[in-house]
Amino acid sequence: MTVTMLLYSAYELSSIIIRLFMLCYIPQKHTPSTATAWLLAIYFWPWPGFLLYSLFGSTSLPQERIDRHETLLRSLDEDKRMFRRIFDDEAHWLPDELVRFGALGKKLGDMCITRGNDFLLIDREEAFIRSLAADVENAQHSVHLLFYIFARDTVTEPLFRALEGAAARGVACRVLVDALGAKPFLKKDAHRLRAAGIRVEKALPPRLLRRTPTTARYDLRNHRKIAVIDGRVGYTGSHNVTEPSYGGKAKGLLWRDLTLRLVGPVVLQLQGVFMEDWFVETREMLLSDEAFPAPEFAGEAVVQTVPSGPSYPWQNYQRLVVSALHGAKKRVVITTPYLIPDDELLHALETAVLGGVRIQLVIPGKSDQFLVGNAAKAYFDALLEAGVEIWLFRDGILHSKTMTVDHDLAFLGTSNFDIRSFALNFELNLVLYGRGETEAIRKAQDVYIASSRRLAAEEWKNRSRALRVLHGVTKLFSPLL
């Protein structure tokens, strides 16, 4: 037998062993849909599929990262946990269904409903950067920034100058960025901020072939966007720190985002989320009276912070979204750049429509990601058949992640409505309670709808056979995207 035949026989034998082993192993670790997708890949490409699973298959975090998180929580005595327990009993005046929903949010994210907040909705990148830079220029004690993408360019330059000026005044400036999302910044510009006295750290540094004490699979990312100044002004939403075309990523189309500038007790919750991420990555504890000043009432808005990610036992945001859909009565509007629903979300959407709820789903007419965009389209048949309205946004890349339910419940944050955001990424979302809060988000959604065209069921049925095949194939891998 030749060497070539021996190698071929060894490959075939090892392929069979891989298939059999993974057939026994993978179903124990994943949901049926995710397990099926992985097994399908391994069946056709045993060795490549096995290597990919080794890199990207596990969603569990390294034990040291979990231990650091638990160490932080144990170190927070009751008088230092104000960002988690603010006005814990102040939600009794809300309608019963909202009180129950708030209790679910607290159970999942360990943060309660807060009242006494005020917010400003920002829908343009330039306005977001100007506002944030102005607050940094007025900072007295601390500036804490956490972003997935962080870039120094002509639009964001005012923020970088404001950071350098604040550090020169003695303000403690800390910047935490995702190691993959902000990779160009870390290579090119991070040293300039460090030279100016600003702490710059990276979250979840990827290691392609090995796990570190705090990093798991390569594609677990910190997708949160948080800014907190002096513990009194906060920002969160879908804006990254970059110019709105994202470097011409989608042939010059501009990203359309929404961010909230917040004042009031909820800012301390944002500070708490930043503090946890900072501690896990650096082991530096940021508890101080300056970082967590006594909360002050600033308005009438009722807001709750719900962090999510693989460090939590449940898929926090997915549970909230599904629960809200089941409780909807009249109208639900969802805006998201990426839609890959799991079975629970898909069934909740269908059930709500069957119950007489009008559901309007607004997504980009053109996606910036080939696989994700086509996998999403594979679900259009089921959604249109159920009666969900699909609106295709035409004025750039819709990147806002929002949801409104009837007239008294709204969501805004960093999480897409896909399996990755629900299960893999570290995300942060706000829940807003009440008519005024919901109306502000709904107005922005209505602007998006006005810049969109509705996809007709008949038009979708008449798409080409080639597109049907493409959507069907990419759908098989949607649990992995």
Of 30, 69, 225, 239, which is the active-site residue? Answer: 225
CB atoms within 10 A of CB 48: 11
**Residue of 251, 216, 197, 192 lying closest to 397 (CA atoms):** 251
First CA to last CA distance, the chain:
43
Q: Rg (Cα) of the chain, in Å, rounded?
A: 23
Q: Of 449, 471, 478, 219, whose CA–CA distance to 346 is shortest?
A: 478
Neighbours of 313 (CB within 10 A): 7
Compute the distance between CA of residue 41 and CA of residue 469 in angstroms, rounded to an integer. Answer: 17
320 to each of 236, 429, 450, how far by Cα in Å? 18, 10, 27
Query: 3-state SS string over 290-310?
Result: CCCCCCCCCCCEEEEEEEECC
SS3 of residue 244 by DSSP: coil
Three-state DSSP state, 143: strand
Q: 3-class SS at 302?
A: strand
**Which two structure tokens, joined as six digits, stand for 103?**
């209790």
Selected catalytic residue, list 406, 418, 471, 475: 406
Q: CA-CA distance, 369 to 376, in Å (whole number)?
A: 11
Q: Please enumerate in sequence order all residues whose Cβ is within 8 A of that of 1, keeping only pairs 6 or more positions apart, or say none.
A: 9
Chain centroid offset of residue 397 CA = 17
Distance separating alpha carbons of residues 227 and 241, to the nearest angstrom: 11
Q: Count of CB atoms within 10 A of residue 186's CB?
A: 19
DSSP string, 330-366: SEEEEE-S-EE--HHHHHHHHHHHHTT-EEEEEEESS
Contacts 24+ apart (CB under 8 A), 466-474: 467/377, 470/374, 471/374, 471/375, 471/377, 471/378, 472/378, 474/371, 474/374, 474/375, 474/378
Asked if 223 is an active-site residue, the reply is yes
What span, in angstroms and rounded, lies between the C-alpha atoms of 136 and 145? Answer: 10
Query: Which structure tokens are listed for 164?
Result: 């350098």
Per the annotation, the verdict on 381 as an active-site residue is no
Q: Choose the catalytic residue: 230, 257, 342, 408.
A: 230
Out of 69, 144, 202, 401, which one is annotated catalytic? 401
Give me the numbers of helices (H) and strands (E) for the chain, helices first please: 19, 19
Q: Which of 407, 439, 410 is nearest to 321 (CA)?
A: 410
Residue 401 annotated in active site? yes
User: Could you say which of 30, 69, 223, 471 is catalytic?
Assistant: 223
* Residues belonging to the active site: 223, 225, 230, 399, 401, 406
